[in-house]
Amino acid sequence: MSDSFVAVLMGSDSDLPQMQPAIDTLKKFGLRVEVKVTSAHRTPAATHAYVTDADQRGCGVFIAAAGMAAHLAGAVAAITVKPVIGVPINASLEGLDALLSTVQMPGGIPVATVAIGKAGAKNAAYLAAQILATADPSLAELVKAERAESAKAVQAKDAALQAKLNQSAS
C-alpha cells in the first residue's frame, strides 16, 4: 500500500454517526484515515491550514461531509487539486439542501458528490479507495475482492429466499 491517506472532514461532530461507515470502510481496505471536524463557515482559516498541510503530507483524497449550507466540500476543493468527495448530511430538509449545496459547484472546481447520509458515506469510502487504487495494484485487488464477496453475499441471500419460497409453495 502507498503512504497516501484519506482525510475525512466533517462540519460538525454530530456528523460522525452518518460518517462512521466511511471511516470503517476505509480502514477495512487498510487505508490510513485522518478524521477532523472543521467548518467552511466557522473555522475557514483552520480548514485552509489543515487542507494545505494534509495535501503536503500526502493526502490522496479528501472526503468532506456537511449538512445544511454544506460548503465544506467546495471550500476544500478550492484549496487542493486532489480529488474531493462530498457527502451531504441530513441535518435539515431531509438533506436535500446539503445535496444541492454540494453538487452545484462552479466549473473548474469539481466535487464528486455521493448520496445523502450513511449510504453516501460508505460510497465515498469506496470511491476514495478506487481512486487510490489507480496507482496501487494491491489496493485494486482488495477492492475487486470486496466486490466479489459482496456479489457472493447477494447470491447467498437469493438462494435462501428461493429455498424459503419453494418450501412455502409445497
CA atoms within 13 A on the CB side of 113: 22
Same domain, 126 and 152: no
Same domain, 126 and 155: no
Same domain, 103 and 127: yes
Same domain, 98 and 143: no
What pLDDT is stored for residue 2 in this prediction?
62
Cβ proximity of 23 and 74 under 8 Å = no
The parent domain of residue 46 ranges over 5-135
Task: Please count the structural domains in the chain.
Answer: 2
pTM: 0.93
What pLDDT is stored for residue 11 in this prediction?
94
Q: Which amino acid, one-letter code, is at 77?
A: A
Same domain, 130 and 170: no
pLDDT, tens digit (0-9, with 9 covering 90-100), for 26-58? 999 999 999 999 999 999 999 999 999 999 999
Same domain, 96 and 168: no
Low-confidence ranges of the chain (pLDDT < 50): none
> In this structure, what CATH number is given to the domain that contains residue 86?
3.40.50.1970
Same domain, 116 and 167: no
CA atoms within 13 A on the CB side of 68: 9
Same domain, 91 and 169: no
Same domain, 42 and 112: yes
